[in-house]
Structure 1
Amino acid sequence: MRPTFYLKNLAVAVAAFSVASIASAAGLDRSGQDITAFLQDGLYAEASYTYLDADVTGHDNAYIGEDNKAYQQGKKIDDAAESYDFFRYGVKADINDTFSVGILYDEPFGAAASYSGDNNFVAMGDRDAVIKDVTGNPAYSERVVDNVVIPTLQKKLAPGNPQNLSPVELQEAKAQLTGVITAKKIADAEEATKGEGTNVEVRTESITAILGMKLGENKNFQVYGGPVAQRVQADVKLRGLAYGPATGYTAHISPDQDYGWLAGVSYSKPEIALQAALTYRSEIDHNLPIFESYPLASAASGGALPTSRADSIDITTPKSVNFDFQTGINPTMLATAKVRWVPWSDFAIVPPLYTGVSKAKYPEGLPLVSYDKDQWLVELGLAKRLTPALAVTGNIGWDSGAGDPVTSLGPIDGYYSAGLGAKYNVTENWAVSAGGKYLWFGDAKGQLPTKDIVGNFEDNDGYALGVKVSYQAK
């Protein structure tokens, strides 16, 4: 007698809780862009909610010197990662035994970070402390700079070189004067934003329409594809001495919607509950309205740039490849695997005013956010049907991260994870699923676009909880 593999029950159990990544674990990846709802048998619909809470703490950098890679443990940074949640929905239906259609909604990319406390990522508003820190001279204060340092340097640089300084001495005096004036302007920006911490929030939403066509004598093969509509918005605030002249920078990127596409191929063998799918999602180019405020922009650019400007910004969300696999081990047990690749090394956020100011020192300009490496995600799981109504699942995972050091707006270098989930059939067609996942984050140093190390983040973790309601009818 041929064994029966309970694919319907087990497949939904495995999907009971699937969180591919967490904010900035690798780039901005969040939902993992799962399409398994479309791969279910018959008429299928699901709605899921996921809540994630990460604990990301560390210390700022107390080092003062010329080596931008050097690090000396400074003041404590309390939890910089904000909790967040997101929804996913999916509906799939068979037109006939050959064609299927589906609609999926998810929130694929995002970031949520907020610094607080007494550290270099919060504007403290202490003008003398700022001047001492920026100039690296503990003897300086605003009074000393105004009444002694600046007048002395101005005399040295008076027209005609009355003190007969050598070219090297003149250059040193110019650099010192520029330094103390910049320190005063940074103190102005710090005072104007006193008490505010560095903050970033990025949210995206995607709707994917899919048309699938089954091929072969037994309809084991399926090709599928369709358009993707994606909406992006973001807010960024840089505060504190960690950002130097960029402290006080604020950017608001207004929502915008643009389009890409998805394509894939799958193979199934129901008698052993085998299913494999390879899915490609295209990158999506966005042109979004942006308003930037940069208090030191005029001073840093020699008056060439304003301190605030409304403009537009080009952002391209990355392409991705997902591989989903499952197969029956015995009539009541299923093994699963998921592999995901996202080329975050191709991604960058390049605000026009921020980048324009950076060109005074870096001719090619600096992005606000970029990554050094691509992301790889691997998850392995098992699902077990305990009773006709109840199935449980467990999985382990690894995320490579997108580089270390990494942007200070998301200082995590990947993670390891372990999760448990369960699915209960309330009726023949309706089911409720729930699960949880624990994540151990990789240690990372936070860096600026200039590659200066500004913090160190170690021994951090997080957890995720999810619930799903699903309906399936063959």
Structure 2
Amino acid sequence: MRSSFTIKPLVTAIAAFSVASVAQAAGLDRSGQDTTAFFQDGTYAEAVYTYIDADVTGRDAAGNKVKDIAEDYDFFRYGVKTDIDNKFSIGVLYDEPWGAAADYHGNNDFVGSPSRVADSLISSRLGNGAPEADNIGVNNVEQFKNFVNATPDRLAAGQQQLATLQGFEQQLDAAIASGAPIAAIDQQVAQTAAQLGRPDIDSFAAFQQLVTESEQALAEGQANYQRLRGLEGVLDTALANTEATEVEVRSESLTGLLGMKFGQNNNYQIYGGPVAQRLKAKVKLRGNAYETATGYDLNVNPDIDYGWIAGLQYSKPEIALKASLTYRSEIDHEVTASEYLPLAALRGVPPNQANKMEITTPESVNFDFQTGINPTTLATAKVRWVPWGDFKITPPLYNAASQFDYGPKGLNLVDYDDDQWVVELGLAKRLQPNLAISGTIGWDSGSGDPTTSLGPIEGYYSVGAGAKYNLDENWAISAGGKYLWFGDAKGQIPNGNIVSDFKDNDGFILGVKLSYQDK
């Protein structure tokens, strides 16, 4: 009975299952960093294409509808391995582990000219309740522009009044030089000052002080006018930007593996190797939702850095049992971040900068398990953990500008509250010698709610199905799909303000795989 329960008919089933087990939702997780290709027998190679289509809609804080922000997303995964002998195996895996693609559009707080942000800035700096030195009684952009446009006329009137005062002062200087009595000079000053509406000026000394104060007031008014023109220019730049919020993150990973089997029947295998990872990103924050960060651009130039992978596998071929535990390290990227934050100029911070920045992609742990139930049926389980609670992106300019309002630590552009857990269970069944089908159910915990407005999803539940057809003894093609019910999530900006609410969203994943195996 035991001898008929071999792995050969089950290989077909497990390969069909694996093609549907792709793509995660928490944080920036995408590929799930699958390593099962390395555990296939003999020489094995696969190429997998995955397409993700999600429908993520909601409303902004003002109640405006936010149309689907999730861009269609696709990526490839490749794997090849071979056994050197009955002890050692080598392999190379390629995948695209981290990514994001979101694009806001429509009539909502994430798109268009940030008029409310500009009005709020004017009101807090110059309006009623603003610091006394700046309280000029304007509370929105329209009032501000009217005030600025009228300022040259006010300055001209002040200049004319100052010229009158200076001319009278020269007359008094000439009278004093000719020997006129000071009492007569003071009387003349009092009469003239009264005509000017300044009855408090009753002496030549007081009049000289008035001239000095008028000169200072005019100089301050001219300087303030230039400051207001600068503020107007910054606001005009921000208001002219009518684009939409966008985010795109792409990564590529190349993993080299060396495995060594040991134990009485080579049931155990340890494996590990280096990992090279390439990362790039682009972010645009637009509209009223992002407050003083509106108009922000971040471009992260492609960077390659390195980490490592290690794991332990146990197998029992007579019952098709395989279990593996795989750890992947963090990878530290020191990237060049090009940033533009127009409203930073109001704080005296250069709005256009290029700085070095560190982005650390997270470590992860994958547990993969399978066991035969009967000669044609296989049960499978996958568990994945990623500590997104430790992840953050802190661009230097963005952080420096935020310190004025939020203290010396400033704000991160992206961070998460919780770690991610993924659990997926499945069954695979061989229907014919060359045909197998599979089904899965899954759960992803997400990485916290509220979460970043750039990816407002709180995990998912999923069901999936797949099929594999053997073209001949070595070649096979597989196809699979997964339907996902996304968890409701509130989107927040880095200062903690809730700016959106996303509910009742879903998506699907399609995958196709071409594989070759020679035992």
TM value normalised by structure 2: 0.79
Contact 2:27–2:446 under 8 Å retained in 1: yes
Q: Does 1:34 align with 2:34?
A: yes
Contact residue 16 and residue 480 of structure 2 kept, 8 A: no
Q: Secondary structure at the match of 1:357?
A: helix
Asked whether 1:403 is paired with 2:444, we answer no
| Secondary structure of residue in 2 paired with 1:336 | strand
1:230 aligns with 2:219: no
SS in 2 for 1:428: coil
Q: Percent identity among equivalent residues?
A: 63
1:84-112: per-residue Cα shift (whole Å, max 9, x none)?
A: 10000000100000000000000000110
Using the TM superposition, name which of 204-213 and 3-12 deviates more.
Answer: 3-12
Give the aligned partner of residue 142 of structure 1: 141
Aligned counterparts of 1:376 and 1:20: Cα–Cα separation in 2: 13
Q: Distance in 1 between matches of 2:229 and 2:439?
A: 59
Kindly provide the CA deviation profile for residues 137-183 of structure 1, in whole angstroms up to 9, marking residues without a partner as x: 9x95433234469999xx9xxxxxxxxxxxxxxxxxxxxxxxx9999
**2:17 aligned residue:** 14
2:236 is the alignment partner of 1:192:
no
- Displacement of 1:243 in angstroms is 0.5
Matches within 5 A, 1:1-400: 1-2=1-2, 3-5=4-6, 6-21=9-24, 25-62=25-62, 74-124=63-113, 127=115, 131-132=118-119, 135=123, 140-147=139-146, 187-194=235-242, 196-299=243-346, 301=347, 303=348, 305-362=349-406, 363-400=408-445
Aligned residues: CA RMSD: 2.3
Describe the superposition over 1:371-419 as per-residue Cα deviations: whole angstroms up to 9, x where unpaired. Answer: 0000000000000000000000000100000000000000000000100
Give the match's secondary structure for 2:290.
Answer: helix
Taking the aligned partners of 2:271 and 2:358, their CA distance within structure 1 comes to 29
SS in 1 for 2:464: strand
Q: Give the SS at the match of 1:29.
A: coil
How far is the alpha carbon of 1:217 from its aligned partner? Answer: 1.2
Where 2:265 maps in the other structure, the secondary structure is: coil
Match of 1:71 in 2: none
Task: State the shift of 1:192 in Å.
Answer: 2.5
- In the alignment of these two chains, the number of paired residues is 428
Instruction: For 1:273, give the aligned amino acid.
Output: A
Q: Is the 2:117–2:292 Cα contact (8 Å) retained in structure 1?
A: no
1:306/1:296 CA distance change after superposition, 3 Å: same
1:133: Cα distance to partner?
Answer: 6.3
What are the Cα deviations for residues 334-364 of structure 1, in whole angstroms up to 9, with x where unaligned? 0000000000011001101001111112221
Superposed displacement of residue 13, structure 1: 1.7
Q: Which runs of 5+ in 2 are unaligned?
A: 128-137, 155-227
- In structure 1, distance between residues paired with 2:94 and 2:45: 12
Q: 2:504 aligns with which of 428, 447, 459?
A: 459
Distance 1:150 1:375, change over 3 A: farther
Q: State the distance in 2 between where 1:103 and 1:259 align.
A: 15
SS in 2 for 1:242: coil
TM-score (normalizing by structure 1): 0.86
1:186–1:247 CA contact under 8 A, matched in 2? no
- Contact 1:55 1:80 (C-alpha < 8 Å) held by counterparts: yes
Greater gyration radius = 2
Q: What is the match of residue 166 of structure 2?
A: none
Does the CA-based 8 Å contact 1:77-1:116 persist in structure 2?
Answer: yes
What's the offset of the Cα at 1:310? 1.1
- 2:214 is matched with none
Contact 1:59–1:75 (CA under 8 A) maintained in structure 2: yes
What residue number does 2:169 align with?
A: none
Distance in 1 of aligned mates of 2:481 and 2:260 = 35
Shift of 1:16: 2.7
